[in-house]
Chain A
Amino acid sequence: MSRLVDAIAVGFRERRTVALLLCANLLVAALMVAPTVPVLSNAYGHAPRAVGFPVISTPLLGSLGPVFVNGGTPSVLAPLLLAVLLQFFLVGGVVWRVCGAGPFRLGAFLGQSGRLVGRNARLYLWLLLFLLVAMLVPVGLAALLHVLGLRTILTLPGEAWMFGRPFGLVSVLHLVVLVLALALWRLSLDVGRVLLFRDDLRVTRAAAWRAVKLVLRAPRSVALYAVLGGLATLAVVLLARGRAMLPEGNAGLALLALGVGQALVWTRLAFQVAGTRFAAGLVESASAAAPVEHLTEPIPASRTG
């Protein structure tokens, strides 16, 4: 539990790291929204009948279809691709920060990011295979329960979401299994990244395998990592509720809402850093325990994979 608290503390203490991640996030979001700016400004810039309404209202939401009829809708795919690349890039710096580096220096952060970007991307691809394996558990369990006439969120008929009660005892228990499977995979990814950095591993396949083994031997950590994810989700939802309860209708309120939105995304990113810190803590504790020589055994640089 103390590792969890420590991880969250580190996540929120790493203000510059989180700020950098937030800038990247905002950059991608701005690129997505950029095409809409002239269209929306033109349509609503001198529209007194739109003043004072929240987004979920007929004058605003209902008018968007005609406004975008000649194009200008948000661009999604290209910015998302950039977001993926940025994520693979910046994660190296994040690992560097949470593994006990000294004071934050942008140059060092970017340097570490650049040094590890290729290996992090390859590690991700290897661990995607593990994701498929991990998902076999909840999917198989859902199939088994379905045969027994018990519904899970993977096998619920579509109508159950709107008319029924999707979250019964069985579906909630299955949801827990699903979350644990995801946590198992996601923690393996973080641990793999820490191993790549800490031990300067070059063979990413081997790093992935070691990460999986390490995580499988630490079920309590998986559970705590899932708790960390749950806390992150709860914090985000609570902040989103707060943002949603703000009044809307004028420029000042719009800027205020945008500010609260940044606080929300900041929180989410801080939890992301906390997750990586949690993984680093797991690797450190495993290193401290014997025998862990394989964790520090360097892989010859010629054996790259």
Chain B
Amino acid sequence: MLLPVLSLLIGVTPAPPRFDAGGRSIGPPLSERTASYVLEARYDPAKRHLTGTARLTWTNRSDVPQATLWFHAYWNAFKASDSTFAREESRAAGARSGTSAYGKDDWGWTELRSARLPDGTDVRPTLRWERPDDGNTGDQTVFTLTLPAPVPPHGQVTIDLGWEARVPKLAARTGVQGKYTIFGQWFPKIGVLEVPPQRGVLTPSWNCHQFHATTEFYADFGSYDAALTVPRAMAVGATGVRTGRIENPDGTVTHRFHQDDVIDFAWVAWEGAVEVTDVFRSDGLPEVGLTVLVPAEARRSAPQILAAAKAALEHAGRNWLPYPYPHLTLVGPPVGANLESGGMEYPTFVTAYARTDPVEPRDVLLWEVTVHEVAHNWWQAMVASNEFEEAWLDEGVTTWATTQVMNGVGLGWDIAVFLPGGTRWLLDPLFRSNLPEADVRPVGSVPRFASSIARPGWRFKLAGEVGRSTYGRSAGALATLQREVGPETFARIMRTYAERWAFRHPSTDDFLQVASEVSGKDLRPLGNALFRGTTGLDDAVAELRCTPVPPVWGYLDADGGTPTFQPRRGPAEGGNVRCEVLVERRGDLPLPLEVQLTFEDGTKMRREVPPGETWTRITTERPLPGGRVTLAEVHPGSRPAMDTQQLNDARSLKATPGPALTLIGWFVYSAQLLVAAVGSIL
């Protein structure tokens, strides 16, 4: 009754909800709910100790009995320096320092204490550590349990898992930093039994990878019910809807949360956090309760985080799929925890950034990260791809999606946003800029990459290639597909992909299948080249030169008679001019290549470069005046996003001294400032 009245008052008619106020689905389940958990956890921040129980109900979706179940024990990535995570991390430097910066008290671990079946049998003694990816015996992030009787095809098993853990120092989106603790990948989590034809598997097989430094996660959908007990002073935010809060006599509080049809559950416990709430309302879209947790000193970030989240919910709801869950929690971590734990996505729970002095009215750093993480609720949390093996399906698609939302709200990047608070009033004009969102994560600068995009995150040849391929290059690949089919068709592709694969596990093939089907074009060859190949693209006009054609000289036939000698003469007034244009294709991406020549008299000429050619030379000969080619361009309409260098796409006959002088002048100016600065300390 309240909702319709409220709607009348504010003039918005929301869509009917898919879940009730307790996070339980209304009507049929949205997902298969293969793995559901009832979690109970007690956190002692003084000892950095966590004890927990999890009642796991798992369904064997296959036609084959399953006696051995695979689990993740992610936190053992932070157990010692010989874990696969720590080894990989020490080899690759990044924004997150992770275990590389650990001291002696910083390591953490998780230990399964019991695994009881309903009849009381404890299968904990059957635990066996597995290293499916690298055979590293120092790694304890994957284990198996063997049941006395297999789970029959399409049957269910319930296991009561008991575990305890030492919370690591904050690293890679989980752990403790001062009075702030974030719990991601924190409970013994069952792997995914992939069943044909899911993601191309031929037989039922477990997909349960070790925790790598460069990968994220993969899980089945289920219902999560959690009771989290923490000291009274701590605020708690978590996946799902808050369903209860009980004060305990020992000075702790138990917070209860529930959410159906999600793939994971994460939470934060934080003393000193400020909680700000709001509601997203938009015509025809379900209402979403919003909660933001930020440090008190960064309270001013909360309205911007909320505004960015609403913009993402609006865009995504209109273009991909309405956000079905009743709640979304956003965390802006405290100073010192932003780079390690900000910018992470979990279902209905994301971490963004929080700044003490955000740029007003819109801080692009806060907006971009919030939009990106909220967009992940579609691309991975609902359309639940395998982040271990095909990270582009979440990060690449989300990067593309972020660009869509940021373009929609008209927000580009201003480098001045990185200036420390308190200096912007003076230094802001020195760095003011407006870089488009699509350009801040470039596809790369080589026409051939070392590794393909669609591959496990730990199997990239170059460490620096993982992020670039997964984010910018993948987004560029999607934009290239978009250019092939047009923006309207591509929008239909993404909507259909979201609708068809929400609450399921798609692969690269599944995406390309949808894209081909919706567009009516077989996009698989191009898609495979983009995502499974290493080829890039750099189409360039390498040369443009025009020379007047001198009159022919030598022995010429005169009136059909005896050849007579014509001496060499200079080009005549009104004679012809010959122009040569050299077009190069660096990279083998199978895209058509069109060249446009613009002549001095304004006429234009277009020419297709034959497929497979790595270069072509176009020669024209026209009378002067007006016959000179003044401009040669490749891709005259729109440039493919995968074309790694845009400046060489066009070459003019006339010199363009402006850009070179601008840059040289800027270099000279910078050098002079450097020399002057050195002079001031000498």
Contacts and interface: CB of A to CB of B under 8 A. Distances in A.
Contacts of A161: 420
A49 B655 contact: no
A44 to B, nearest CB: 4
B631 interface: yes
Nearest to A66: B445
16 contacts: A25-B676, A26-B668, A32-B674, A47-B650, A49-B650, A60-B659, A83-B678, A166-B420, A166-B421, A167-B421, A248-B662, A251-B661, A258-B668, A265-B676, A268-B676, A272-B679
Interface in B633-660: 644-660
A114 interface: no
A170 to B, nearest CB: 13
Contacts of B674: 29, 32, 76, 80
Interface residues of B, number: 70
A157 B663 CA distance: 34
Contacts of A60: 659, 662-663
A60 to B, nearest CB: 6
Scoring A26, A49, A240 by chain B CB atoms within 10 A of each residue's CB, the highest score goes to A49
Contact of A159 (B338, B662, B668): B338
Interface in A17-54: 21, 25-26, 28-30, 32-33, 36-37, 40-41, 43-54
B304 to A, nearest CB: 13
B656 A51 contact: yes
Q: Interface majority SS on A: helix, strand, loop or mixed?
A: helix
Contact of A44 (B365, B659, B675): B659
Contacts of B669: 243, 257-258, 261
A71 interface: no
A87 B682 contact: yes
A240 to B, nearest CB: 6
Given A57-B435, A59-B647, A272-B680, A254 B297 contact: no
Given A163-B355, A164-B335, A74 B671 contact: yes
A183 to B, nearest CB: 12
B442 interface: yes
A78 interface: no
Nearest to A84: B682
The 6 closest A-B pairs by CB, nearest first: A29-B671, A50-B659, A254-B661, A44-B659, A164-B335, A56-B433
B165 interface: no
A153 B674 CA distance: 22
Contacts of A240: 430
Contacts of A58: 435-436, 439
Interface in B95-117: none
A218 interface: no
A29 B664 CA distance: 11
A173 interface: no
B565 interface: no
Interface size range of chain A in the complex:
35 or more
B344 to A, nearest CB: 16
Interface in A64-119: 64-66, 69, 74, 76, 79-80, 83-84, 87-88, 91
B298 interface: yes
Contacts of A44: 647, 656, 659-660, 663
B656 A48 contact: yes
Interface in A161-216: 161-167, 186
Nearest to A91: B682
A36 B659 contact: no
Contacts of B648: 43, 47
A237 interface: yes
A69 B668 CA distance: 20
B553 to A, nearest CB: 31
Contacts of A83: 675, 678-679
A36 B667 contact: yes
Given A54-B433, A157-B336, A160-B335, A63 B646 contact: yes
Contact of B662 (A254, A262, A269): A254
A160 B336 contact: yes
B673 interface: yes
A189 to B, nearest CB: 8
Contact of B658 (A52, A64, A268): A52
Given A66-B645, A157-B335, A165-B356, A46 B678 contact: no
B403 to A, nearest CB: 13
B432 interface: yes
A219 interface: no
Scoring B644, B652, B676, B680 by chain A CB atoms within 10 A of each residue's CB, the highest score goes to B676
A253 interface: yes
B555 interface: no
Contacts of B665: 254-255, 257-258, 261
Given A40-B660, A254-B658, A244 B429 contact: yes
